[in-house]
Amino acid sequence: MEDLTLPKFLKVKDKASGKEMYCPININQRKFKSALKYKAEDTDVFVCSYPKTGTTWLMNIVWLILHDGTEVPGPYRESIPMLEFDGSEAPESIRNREFPCIIKTHFPYKFVQINPKAKYLYITRNPKDAFVSFYFHIRGCGKKYGTENPDINKLYDQYMKGEVQFDCYFDHLNEWYSHRNDSNVLFLLYEDMKQDPRNGILKVAKFLGEKYEELLMKENGKLMEKVLELSSFEHMKSRTIWEYPKRPANEPFIRKGVIGDWKNHLSAEQADGLDRALMEHGKESGISKLWDKYAEFL
């Protein structure tokens, strides 16, 4: 009998490039493979991350800054395509020369054809909270993963092996972190953004271009206040444009958005396992020290 408590993932391989990766079982493989060939235009803005590390929040902030505080219409992927799920054609179909094209992706760095003039914002979140958020994501759209009641312990084992969509969290982070000093990459911590959203928004605007920083602070920071309001947890939770269409009402996509919620869901052994994995994967790169200043939460 099929185990419906075990989430299912499909390993997809592109024969042309040899690249392969775990994906949801309902992935459109043609679109996935076409995404690998996407060549960014100079004005493209990529919001990059491993799943459940603050992607939607950052994506919303970027949109609000680039569109002078006008909210993204829904469903959001008609305006902000997800490269690996929507394919290389999607950015072309929505491209508007008045505004830069925003593209969401969970691809690891090695899967992205980098344009030195395009901009890449990467956000990450401590692995314990990221895993718990991923677990609730699976609960909210179980059909995509062949599960009706996912077992957090079984998912934990898959996560630690990197046998989940977009593969290993730690490898993904290490790859992007190694490019944190590239002129066209902005590396952000979810926790920094939560602790000081005003400074985080300003940092994003500066990276997007001097004119956006100026617009943000014009008229005593009128646009800044608007971006703060429209990217707040409370406001984003009130909008349904982020939701998977068939998501249960009791499993919201925008769930808690706090630092340290892992303490309510992980065993001591699981928390210790994620801590040790971060130390082991981060000895040389330095990612093991990224959250030292948040020790009280983590």
- For the annotated catalytic residues, the residue numbers are 106
* Beta bridge pairs of residue 20: 13
Distance separating alpha carbons of residues 216 and 194, to the nearest angstrom:
19
Residue the block writes with tokens 């992007």:
176
Distance separating alpha carbons of residues 65 and 218, to the nearest angstrom:
13
Where does the chain show beta strands of DSSP type E? Answer: 9-13, 20-24, 45-49, 102-105, 119-124, 185-189
Helix, strand and coil in the chain, % to nearest 5: 50, 10, 40
Give the number of residues written for the chain.
298
Closest by Cα among 130, 234, 131, 239 to 191: 130
Distance separating alpha carbons of residues 131 and 40, to the nearest angstrom:
30
Distance separating alpha carbons of residues 202 and 188, to the nearest angstrom:
12
Distance separating alpha carbons of residues 169 and 162, to the nearest angstrom:
7
Closest by Cα among 27, 161, 171, 165 to 86: 27
SS (H, E, C) 120-165: EEEEECCHHHHHHHHHHHHHHCHHHHCCCCCCHHHHHHHHHHCCCC
